[in-house]
Amino acid sequence: MWPPSLRPTEAWHLDMDAPAAGLRSGLGPARGSTETPVPYEAAHGFAEASPRYTDLKVSLHHRLLDMLNLAAIETMPRDEFRREIGEIVRELLNRDPAPLNLGERTRLVEDILDELIGLGPLEPLLKDASVTDILVNTHRHVFVERGGQLEETPVRFKDDRHLLRIIDKIVSAVGRRVDESQPMVDARLADGSRINAIIPPLAVDGPLLSIRKFAPTAIDMARLVELGTLPAPLVQLLRGIVMCRRNVVISGGTGSGKTTLLNAMSAFVGPRERIVTVEDAAELQLQQAHVARLETRPANMEGRGEVTQRDLVRNALRMRPDRIILGEVRAGEAFDMMQAMNTGHEGSMTTVHANSCRDALLRLEQMLGMSGIDLPIRSMRGQIASALHVMIQMERMSDGRRRVVSLSEITGLEGDVVTMHEIVRFHRQGQGSGPGPSRDGAIRGEYRATGVRPLFMGALDAVGIEVPAETFDPARPLE
């Protein structure tokens, strides 16, 4: 009756902390079965499950946990494991009087497998390529972002205990923990997706989980132009900025596309340069061969062993980098980053949360003050003015699109003020596809130069980058 490798044992319980990586293929029919496979989309339709279906799934899941010997999970090929578990679930279903049609039976097998070796109700959303963010607001509500817009899904957890088990499974698989003594956690899944979880007592109504899905391939400049993030003429200017080794800060709000643009710009770095990346949660996808990736580490259960971004930036300086790319500057590491940019590591890049280029400068100034080094205001601003060359502002607009809305050059220090000139600006003209409002609500606008030619034009000429003169003509839009 039972497949040999999964015979029942007297006292065995499934290791719910086992990693869930690699579970992306659909489920085939049982060996010897005459059933026709149901497509994944049909088997995992997003229609909300009935209480009867949910109760049956939970009952079967508990029975499997009590009766199966799954010790071979670590050594058995994943497809074989899925096939044998599928046979057992089908056999249990044959004994159950609850009538199920073929679609429900196939979906139930897939859901049980998701509970055993995946992330339960979240698995269909993780497999959906159109979903970029998954936001779980207690067991009752699951939202996703598609095309920059939030929408609620019919996906539900049975209760908060069910959701807590999935959260614990996620964080324990990457060496983290979440409990009453440590109710918040940031982590990264095996595929690179970023997760944040917060549980009671801090989360008042129940556990909250956020997943920023990892794109399997980085979005390049051509795709950003296609998406309307920036106009094609701006690509050559950004290419020149990277190749002539200008230090760049990309600022914007949460989810505005800062990291995506940083990834795309990094493709212009030459293959002979050594790049060291420093990130809180590794998500950069640099394509060069000579890349050294560093990631922070939280404190352990005893509160020891923490490695901060500042520690890693300092260590990066000892690794003979040509460029340092800091995923996001948040605190005192800003001082070490400015020092690196001022001491032979030109062409370094980072991002910062801010609503405008001027706000980004103020935030950097505040972060320099968090370094623990007592610097006068003028000295801090002098550090910023000499270290940075280009500021790029990103914005996620109400239509869901991420856009470059401003590109500015820092030109120096006048008195106690860091001066900068805006080079290109996005002019918003309205919302809709025509002169009046439209149903799609798309933001209409155009990119225009301000007429100011950047001071780094000489550096562009030195590396052989030609930017057409019309790029800086304010009389014509950049298209």
The crossing angle, in degrees rounded to 10, of helices 232-243 and 258-266 is 60
Grouping H, G, I as helix, E, B as strand and the rest as coil, residue 448 is strand
- Indicate if 416 and 286 belong to the same structural domain: yes
pTM over 0.85? The answer is: no
Average pLDDT, stretch 396-411? 93
In a domain, 477, yes or no: no
Supply the pLDDT for residue 202. Answer: 94
Top pLDDT among 209 and 82 is at 209
In this structure, what token pair is assigned to residue 201? 């007592």
Average pLDDT, stretch 379-404? 93
- Indicate if 246 and 195 belong to the same structural domain: no
Supply the pLDDT for residue 98. Answer: 63
Average pLDDT, stretch 140-165? 89
Q: Which of 212, 238, 264 is at the close of a domain?
A: 212
- Indicate if 337 and 366 belong to the same structural domain: yes
Supply the pLDDT for residue 16. Answer: 31
What residues form DSSP beta bridges with 150?
Answer: 145
Give every strand in the sheet of 131-137, ordered side by side. 149-153, 141-146, 131-137, 208-212, 194-198, 184-188
- Indicate if 133 and 261 belong to the same structural domain: no
Supply the pLDDT for residue 67. Answer: 60
- Indicate if 268 and 298 belong to the same structural domain: yes
pLDDT tens-place string over residues 235-261: 999 999 999 999 999 999 988 999 999
Confidence of residue 9 (pLDDT cuts 50, 70, 90): very low
**Least confident span in 115-129, 214-228, 263-277, 339-353:** 115-129
Confidence of residue 58 (pLDDT cuts 50, 70, 90): low
Supply the pLDDT for residue 25. Answer: 29
The contacts of residue 130 (CB under 8 Å, 6+ apart) are 146, 147
Whether pLDDT at 154 is above 70? yes
Supply the pLDDT for residue 95. Answer: 72
Grouping H, G, I as helix, E, B as strand and the rest as coil, residue 183 is coil
Q: Which residue, among 139, 137, 117, has the nearest Cα to 70 in the 3D structure?
A: 117
**Least confident span in 96-105, 126-135, 169-178, 214-223:** 96-105
Supply the pLDDT for residue 7. Answer: 44
Q: What is the mean pLDDT of the chain?
A: 81
Top pLDDT among 12 and 227 is at 227
Gyration radius (Cα) of the chain, Å: 26
280 vs 263: CA distance, rounded Å: 16
Supply the pLDDT for residue 266. Answer: 93
In a domain, 445, yes or no: yes
Cite the DSSP H helix spans in 118-208.
Answer: 123-127, 160-173
pLDDT tens-place string over residues 90-121: 777 777 666 667 777 777 777 777 776 778 88
404 vs 427: CA distance, rounded Å: 11
Supply the pLDDT for residue 57. Answer: 67
- Indicate if 279 and 384 belong to the same structural domain: yes
Confidence of residue 301 (pLDDT cuts 50, 70, 90): confident
Domain count along the chain: 3
Supply the pLDDT for residue 274. Answer: 94
- Indicate if 165 and 113 belong to the same structural domain: no
**Least confident span in 183-192, 200-209, 461-470:** 183-192
- Indicate if 183 and 262 belong to the same structural domain: no
187 vs 177: CA distance, rounded Å: 10
CATH number for the domain spanning 162: value is: 3.30.450.90
Confidence of residue 433 (pLDDT cuts 50, 70, 90): low
Supply the pLDDT for residue 338. Answer: 92
CATH number for the domain spanning 429: value is: 3.40.50.300
List C-alpha distances in Å: 101 to 27, 46, 53, 64, 113: 17, 17, 12, 22, 19
In a domain, 412, yes or no: yes
Confidence of residue 293 (pLDDT cuts 50, 70, 90): very high
- Indicate if 258 and 381 belong to the same structural domain: yes
- Indicate if 369 and 298 belong to the same structural domain: yes
Q: Which residue, among 23, 85, 25, has the nearest Cα to 60 in the 3D structure?
A: 85
Burial class (CB in 10 A: 0-12, 13-18, 19+), 120: buried
In a domain, 244, yes or no: yes
In this structure, what token pair is assigned to residue 69? 């010997």
pLDDT tens-place string over residues 21-49: 322 223 233 333 333 333 333 334 434 55
- Indicate if 449 and 360 belong to the same structural domain: yes
Supply the pLDDT for residue 439. Answer: 44
Confidence of residue 368 (pLDDT cuts 50, 70, 90): very high
Percentage above 70 pLDDT, the chain? 80
Strands (E) located in 221-309: 248-252, 275-279, 291-295
Supply the pLDDT for residue 260. Answer: 92
Confidence of residue 124 (pLDDT cuts 50, 70, 90): confident
DSSP annotation string for 327-350 = S---STHHHHHHHHHHTT-TT-EE
Q: Which of 212, 237, 256 is at the close of a domain?
A: 212
pLDDT tens-place string over residues 257-284: 999 999 999 999 998 999 999 998 788 8
Supply the pLDDT for residue 34. Answer: 37
- Indicate if 155 and 278 belong to the same structural domain: no
Query: Could you tell me the residue range of the domain that residue 448 belongs to?
Result: 221-472
Whether pLDDT at 205 is above 80? yes
In a domain, 479, yes or no: no
Whether pLDDT at 5 is above 60? no
